[in-house]
């Protein structure tokens, strides 16, 4: 499928599944090196990161654990600027190496909020791992250790990412076609 329509918008294929998986493996290989023997706890931020987290985890060959948290700030295709609470963090992360796993970093506001919340719980370290990064939109200084793919400022869907809750099941990543 080179084009899909979701609700009122058209999207065209942008990053095919094979390329996504190759990039995910590259990031996983780096983590296999960096985090060997450290038993990291991956904290995947729902909903968007569920597919990335699953593939990343399958490429990790070191002992590791995963848990899921939620912190939503987006509706439709524009950031509302409204930041919600972190929910679902039941693990004791004290003295543990934590890797926050995100689908996409846009302005960076969501990740900043996440780091503030996690920081108060005294983990041994916090690394950021994101599938996608829009460097042109980043407003908050963030030390992003693992980025699978850098993209332009356009709105994308697929591979876990939604447009109004639809399109998460697409295997490839699609970009919005401006009408």
Phi, psi of 55 (to 5 degrees): -70, -40
CB of 102 to Mg ion, least distance (A): 5
CA distance 104 to 111: 10
7-36 binders of ligand 5GP (CB under 6 A): none
Question: For 31, how many CA atoms within 13 A lie in the half-sphere containing its CB?
Answer: 33
> CA-to-CA distance for 4 and 25, rounded, in angstroms?
27
106: contact with Mg ion by CB under 5 A: no
| Binding characters for ligand 5GP, 86-105, by CB under 6 A (x = yes) | ----------------xxxx
Binding mask 119-158 for Mg ion (x = CB under 5 A): ----------------------------------------
Which of 5, 28, 2 minimizes the C-alpha distance to 15? 2
Residues that contact Mg ion, how many (by CB under 5 A): 4
Distance from the first to the final alpha carbon of the chain: 19
Please say if 106 is a catalytic residue. yes
Residue 110 lies near ligand 5GP (rule: CB under 6 A): yes
**Residues labelled as active-site residues:** 106
């Amino acid at each position: 499928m080179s084009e899909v329509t979701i609700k009122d918008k058209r999207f065209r294929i942008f990053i095919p599944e094979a390329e996504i998986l190759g990039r995910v493996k590259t990031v996983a290989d780096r983590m296999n090196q960096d985090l060997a023997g450290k038993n990291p706890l991956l904290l995947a931020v729902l909903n968007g990161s569920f597919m990335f987290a699953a593939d990343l985890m399958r490429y990790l060959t070191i002992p590791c654990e995963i848990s899921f948290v939620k912190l939503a700030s987006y509706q439709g295709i524009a950031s509302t600027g409204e930041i919600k609470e972190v929910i679902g963090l039941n693990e004791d992360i004290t003295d543990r190496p934590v890797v926050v796993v995100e689908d996409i970093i846009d302005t960076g506001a969501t990740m900043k909020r996440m780091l503030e919340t996690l920081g108060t719980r005294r983990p041994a370290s916090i690394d950021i791992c994101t599938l996608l990064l829009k460097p042109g939109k980043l407003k908050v200084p963030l030390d992003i250790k693992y980025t699978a793919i850098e993209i332009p400022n356009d709105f994308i869907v697929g591979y876990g990412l939604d447009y109004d809750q639809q399109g998460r099941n697409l295997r490839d990543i699609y970009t919005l076609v401006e009408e």
